[in-house]
């Protein structure tokens, strides 16, 4: 891999390190990554220092595409376990390192492979669509995965007469059903504790306090339906209200000319949005919406991983081969940008 210069310390947001500490830590991260032939990938919910030092920061689909295509020898994944596992499934010959294996996901925990097998047995012939926030074992039982940025396109790719089982996120499931108009979709009742906690009451309070703000909502949010109901009733202007993946939010933020934007998703994204546009004020819909799993990846743990090579992800070959079909089918669908609806 070619050495890339250490990224500058962006003058925005919530760093816990001083500029000098950041500078020497970031230089060491990039030096070790070059030495190992590693690419550092970071999800948009990571802490600011990690978003800034990573070679690539983005949403789930974008990072999966990078993991599938990189020519680096190693992938150091700053995100949660299912994301690193997906990178390993896509690049089985590469070493994939996750700085803390305890970084799980409450949404991925909401369905097991055994539960999915039982559900499939009740619906013979149905096409199984699983959100990428699932374990490798669940992906191995899946026909096609999706992320928040291509879920509607994935559903549209399935013949209209086929029954669909969608798991595990009930709010994303309800959203794709609404967007695609498909009725023959059964939806698993799983949820992410962070996004489910962004409530209709939060939305009402923040809209009342910021009546002219643009609104960006992640489709995993418990408030998605209420926001779209406000659009349907004419209480919110449709042109100022969008349901997007975190990558779609980054694109929308970069292009926004609004004075204020209300953001309904995990609060780590705010650093990315503020870095992309410092003329707009980005305000969380719920300032307590932090994912404790994403925050388990700390600057110190990233450095430790790069120094020691500890934290390799292993997926057994049989499971990986079955899961790969579903993940590769997902990667082939949707625009290869940083994310959209």
Contact set with ligand SF4 (CB under 6 A) = 80, 105-107, 133, 192, 194-195, 266, 291, 293-294
The size of the chain, in residues, is: 341
Residue in 59, 85, 153, 341 binding ligand 13P, rule: CB under 6 A: 59
Binding at 274: pick from ligand SF4, ligand 13P, none (beta carbon under 5-8 Å per type): none
CB 205 within 8 A of CB 283: no
Residue in 86, 134, 135, 148 binding ligand 13P, rule: CB under 6 A: 148
For ligand 13P, the closer of residues 59 and 153 by Cβ is: 59
For ligand 13P, the closer of residues 28 and 109 by Cβ is: 109
Q: How far is the CB of 329 from ligand SF4 (least distance, A)?
A: 21
* Contacts (Cβ under 8 Å, ≥6 apart) of 194: 106, 266, 289, 290, 291
- How many chain residues are in contact with ligand 13P, going by CB under 6 A? 13
Question: Reading across the β-sheet that carries 144-146, which strands appear in turn?
Answer: 144-146, 127-131, 164-167, 185-187
133 binds ligand 13P (CB under 6 A): yes
Q: How far is the CB of 106 from ligand SF4 (least distance, A)?
A: 4
Q: How far is the CB of 82 from ligand SF4 (least distance, A)?
A: 8
Q: How far is the CB of 139 from ligand 13P (least distance, A)?
A: 15
For ligand 13P, the closer of residues 202 and 266 by Cβ is: 266
Q: How far is the CB of 294 from ligand SF4 (least distance, A)?
A: 5
Which of these, 57, 40, 59, lies nearest to 48 by C-alpha position?
57
Among residue numbers 201 through 260, which ones bind ligand 13P (CB under 6 A)? 218, 220, 245-246
Helix 19-36 × helix 299-308 angle, to 10°: 30
Rounded-to-10 torsion of CA 135, 137, 141, 144: 40
Strands (E), 44-126: 56-58, 74-78, 95-97
Quick note: the x/- pattern for ligand 13P over 86-125, rule CB under 6 A, is: ----------------------------------------
Q: How many other CB atoms are there within 10 angstroms of residue 197's CB atom?
A: 15
For ligand 13P, the closer of residues 221 and 236 by Cβ is: 221
Question: Reading across the β-sheet that carries 38-43, which strands appear in turn?
Answer: 56-58, 38-43, 74-78, 95-97
Measured distance CA(140)–CA(322) in Å, rounded: 5
Place of tokens 């020898």: 73
Measured distance CA(250)–CA(245) in Å, rounded: 9
Residue in 46, 51, 57, 60 binding ligand 13P, rule: CB under 6 A: 60
CB 335 within 8 A of CB 61: no
Residue in 15, 33, 44, 213 binding ligand 13P, rule: CB under 6 A: 44
Q: How far is the CB of 124 from ligand 13P (least distance, A)?
A: 31
Binding at 147: pick from ligand 13P, ligand SF4, none (beta carbon under 5-8 Å per type): ligand 13P
Range in contact with ligand 13P (rule: CB under 6 A) among 137-145, 146-154, 172-180, 227-235 = 146-154
Rounded-to-10 torsion of CA 264, 220, 150, 313: 110
Binding at 106: pick from ligand 13P, ligand SF4, none (beta carbon under 5-8 Å per type): ligand SF4
Output the six-digit token pair for 171: 């709010």
Measured distance CA(155)–CA(132) in Å, rounded: 14
For ligand SF4, the closer of residues 85 and 266 by Cβ is: 266
Measured distance CA(30)–CA(21) in Å, rounded: 14
SS3 call for 34: helix
Q: How far is the CB of 334 from ligand SF4 (least distance, A)?
A: 19
Contact footprint for ligand 13P (CB under 6 A): 44, 59-61, 133, 147-149, 192, 218, 220, 245-246
């Amino acid at each position: 891999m070619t050495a890339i210069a250490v990224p500058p310390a962006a003058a925005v947001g919530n760093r816990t390190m001083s500029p000098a500490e950041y500078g020497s830590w970031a230089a060491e991260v990039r030096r070790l990554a070059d030495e190992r032939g590693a690419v550092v990938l970071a999800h948009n919910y990571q802490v600011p220092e990690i978003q800034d030092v990573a070679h690539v920061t983005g949403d789930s689909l974008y990072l999966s595409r990078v993991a599938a295509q990189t020519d680096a020898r190693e992938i150091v994944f700053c995100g949660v376990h299912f994301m690193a596992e997906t990178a390993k499934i896509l690049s089985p010959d590469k070493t994939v390192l996750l700085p803390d294996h305890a970084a799980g996901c409450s949404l991925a925990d909401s369905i097991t492979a055994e539960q999915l097998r039982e559900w499939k047995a009740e619906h013979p012939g149905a096409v199984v669509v699983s959100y990428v926030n699932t374990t490798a074992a669940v992906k191995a039982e899946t026909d096609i995965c999706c992320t928040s940025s291509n879920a509607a396109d994935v559903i549209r790719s399935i013949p209209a007469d086929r029954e669909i089982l969608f798991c595990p996120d009930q709010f994303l499931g309800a959203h794709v059903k609404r967007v695609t108009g498909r009725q023959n979709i059964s939806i698993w009742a799983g949820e992410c504790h962070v996004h489910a906690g962004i409530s209709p009451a939060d939305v009402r309070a923040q809209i009342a306090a910021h009546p002219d703000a643009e609104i960006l909502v992640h489709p995993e949010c418990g408030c998605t339906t209420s926001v779209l109901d406000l659009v349907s009733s004419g209480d919110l202007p449709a042109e100022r209200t969008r349901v997007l993946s975190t990558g779609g939010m980054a694109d929308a933020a970069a292009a926004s000319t609004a004075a204020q934007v209300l953001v309904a998703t995990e609060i780590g994204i705010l650093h990315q949005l503020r870095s992309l546009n410092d003329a707009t004020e980005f305000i969380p819909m719920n300032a307590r919406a932090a994912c404790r799993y994403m925050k388990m990846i700390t600057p110190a743990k990233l450095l430790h991983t790069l120094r020691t090579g500890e934290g390799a992800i292993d997926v057994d070959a049989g499971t990986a081969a079955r899961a790969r079909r579903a993940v590769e089918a997902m990667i082939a669908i949707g625009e290869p940008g940083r994310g959209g609806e």
